[in-house]
Chains A and B, each alone.
Chain A
């Protein structure tokens, strides 16, 4: 087999001359492999971990938290359901409290768990336990370690409207229902003695029951939880108020973070893979063009074209596979960062082991893409006629026209010579252009998502949850409602205090949250994006997903039921909100009283002047009216700490993507420059000999691709400018935010373009600097 030897030589030459391409393709494949592996871990292993935890902790399908006095109603409802297999009611203590979390605080319902008398369902795992070492030991959900930075032995002081409780951290726990920051109730573990001491303290928390049910038929969960909520809705004034969660809801919430990671990483992997494919394509096409004569010789001696094809297509695929595997391996180093940021939302520690199979699948997948494209690029070999090949591509040269003839074109000589050089290396120029378009678009997407969330943090939060006062309070049952509001209104810094009740109901057969106000015009910001807020007792505004599920639109009539009563309402508006995942309705007080005639307000929404401190006002509220309030909450603070988790995530993503963007740009431009230098080495020598200085040559080199880099960056940013806000808008509409409008600051777009252009310029200057130093004859020697 003589020809195999010839092919071997050809391949060796192709790999030797394509060393830069090999490195770039390998590195990019590593990026892609790493990102895909992280995405796979988030998309598959995280849910798997959660499901395993759920099974291990005997997590119930439904959990209700209620004042012990009313909890029996929930138990009765659940016992009557045929789909419910097990019901357990556990007596605990609960109260509203402010918890320190790192530098911030969280206002939440706190449930004290007796760790030595565990429930059968919904168990709590203690990750570390060190009672002996500390006095007043307390066990905190893992997120206090991952987000708050607590360690065993630290002080932990809980503030309630009726005083403070001081503990020392003795360990950390996981509990699927009560370990989430964003779910509204946090379980705090105590050893038996500590629990008993708390129950016997002068101001003990309220008796609270955790009612848990296993439901065999998953399809029945929604209906059952609706019936439980109906039964308990008449008991809205209890302390603590009733909370109902089902496992599907919780699981979905827990998987939002990993989902966002996975989708963003896959999206950006696509960008990198696109770049890899472009590099491979131009690499192979370039090699074929350069080695046409050798290929012609091979063809004339009868080498099967198939062999030649394989010789060209296999090496890039192998390099991609190796690079991807390396990337997968390295990506495990980034797992702790991702795991910590996810723990902030789910309260679950996560350290996935190495998954060899998924690594191999990822590498194989990427390698296959490269192989397919490389094969496609190399197909040209099959169509090659020996004579044409032997002519060495001279034919194509004879059709070349002189663009920008020096005799007739104004402009800087070096700029013109550079542009001519760029035109002579068309394939590479197209590559630089394409890569910069793709990469700057991706940078725009990530940066704009990040800046929209961060720069206008409160606007962004308002967009998500609607109008929330900076401080909220819950009135006790017997408080004089009018007097209470007047007292709070009189506090300096308070702009307005209004009653805004958060309740539950069933709209058109679908369970959802209800927001009750005397006058919705008292809000500073309305989430209604279509129609208007309800004004009359027979009107209702629905969250877009709720309206969709209930199958009603503007102008339709819909039935709202609370407990045993139902009434007909006219849909006058649609609300965009992520509260209750969009399953929310607005009804006026008059409208709600058609169902519950003796309804009295209890949730107070306190709006502050711009310069007022929520913490100070919250204190004032406690002082002025503490005895008539169940709780006072610094909403601004608790929203901030909930959003901090998401912001942290976006920060990680945005920086990660921007870093990869810059690296990809650098790599591709570096590749282009090194290829150009290799191909034009002797011509640069000649130029130097003819009297061009090193810096003039550098200017020519930069001019040969910088216009393209600039054009690519500008085009990418312009496309991003128009497309990114729309894409983000569409994706937010799908989670209930129909009126989300994203803007991209012009400065940001210009900044991204400039950064990418600067990276391109810098890479080129670094890559070309040897040119400044080498002697003319040296370069000409080739």
Chain B
């Protein structure tokens, strides 16, 4: 199998065709006879290589939006296109295979597989897409090390992990197949600032490599990593704040970066105030 990186646009090409295009998407849940319209006529376009962040009040439907966009759940109405594929046209099996190769997902509830060790949790997904065992193992170990999961922890089982360790493993699992789009539902929700940074750095880095990232977060500092912050409320995107591309940390002095982040922070807090955050 050829490396998936080859298929991608360069990191700077954020203005190209959208990798995700949602039009008129509605999602309604019915539970015990009560209908709840979580998403209503939602339109959204995420460009290839973009790092988009979704924010919004709890219960607004952020997780639901990620499920619908990643093909894990079908919208009640409307259409979703991912990487030029109409999600609704795919058979269940084709959809599963599409997700396997194009979408990585970090669940809000983490969802590691209890019966498998940490390393096996990552490898099971890795080996599903890439038969080259050595390459997958190397990549998995490297990614795990990057988020501070050491060899001993890699041999543990999910039931033994701290919440933060588990979340970092979940992020690595979503990245191991180098998917076109990484859907990350509050990937830093359980993390202290040090490990938050490790995870966010990792996401920024894969984004810099050309993978699109769509992240849900409640944390303003995490949101600063994004090129654009979308605000979801009452079933639709109520506004967006374009922060522009954050300079990769490697090309800047620490001072520049801080100054850059300060500007972005001011802009984002202004936007969030406006949205009633």
Contact = CB atoms under 8 A, between A and B. Distances in A.
Interface of A: 394, 397-398, 400, 402, 405-407, 413, 417, 420-421, 423-424, 680, 682-683, 686-695, 773, 775-777, 780
Contact of B93 (A400, A421, A693): A693
A691 B160 contact: no
A773 B96 CA distance: 12
Given A693-B93, A694-B93, A686 B128 contact: no
B269 interface: no
B160 A398 contact: yes
Given A689-B72, A777-B73, A424 B119 contact: no
B105 interface: yes
A424 B67 CA distance: 30
A405 B117 contact: yes
A776 B117 CA distance: 22
A688 B92 CA distance: 10
B116 interface: yes
Interface string B126-166: 01110001000100100000000000000101011000000
Interface of A is mostly: helix
Interface string B104-122: 0101000101111101100
Interface of B is mostly: helix
9 tightest A-B contacts by CB?
A691-B100, A424-B115, A406-B123, A402-B117, A686-B111, A406-B120, A407-B137, A693-B96, A413-B127
B173 interface: yes
B160 A402 contact: no
A690 B71 CA distance: 11
Nearest to A403: B117
A102 to B, nearest CB: 58
A691 B125 contact: yes
Contacts of B93: 693-695
29 contacts: A394-B160, A397-B157, A402-B155, A402-B157, A406-B116, A406-B123, A406-B124, A406-B127, A407-B123, A407-B133, A407-B137, A413-B124, A420-B115, A424-B115, A682-B111, A686-B111, A686-B113, A690-B100, A690-B124, A690-B128, A691-B97, A691-B128, A691-B177, A692-B96, A693-B93, A694-B93, A694-B96, A695-B93, A777-B72
Contacts of A402: 117, 120, 155, 157
A609 to B, nearest CB: 67
B129 A691 contact: yes
Contact of A688 (B96, B117, B159): B96
A417 B124 CA distance: 8
Interface residues of B, number: 35
A421 B120 contact: no
Contact of A776 (B72, B128, B137): B72
B67 A690 contact: no
Nearest to A398: B160
A420 B116 contact: yes
Given A413-B124, A777-B73, A405 B115 contact: no
Contacts of B117: 402, 405
B125 A690 contact: yes
B99 interface: yes
Contacts of B105: 689-690
B175 to A, nearest CB: 12
Given A406-B120, A421-B115, A692-B128, 14 more contacts: A406-B116, A407-B133, A413-B124, A424-B115, A680-B115, A682-B111, A686-B111, A690-B124, A691-B97, A691-B99, A691-B128, A691-B129, A693-B97, A775-B73
A683 B159 contact: no
A420 B120 contact: yes
B114 A683 contact: yes
A692 B127 CA distance: 11
A197 B162 CA distance: 104
Contacts of A683: 113-115
B96 A691 contact: yes
Interface string B247-269: 00000000000000000000000
Nearest to A423: B115
Given A406-B123, A691-B129, A775-B73, A400 B116 contact: no
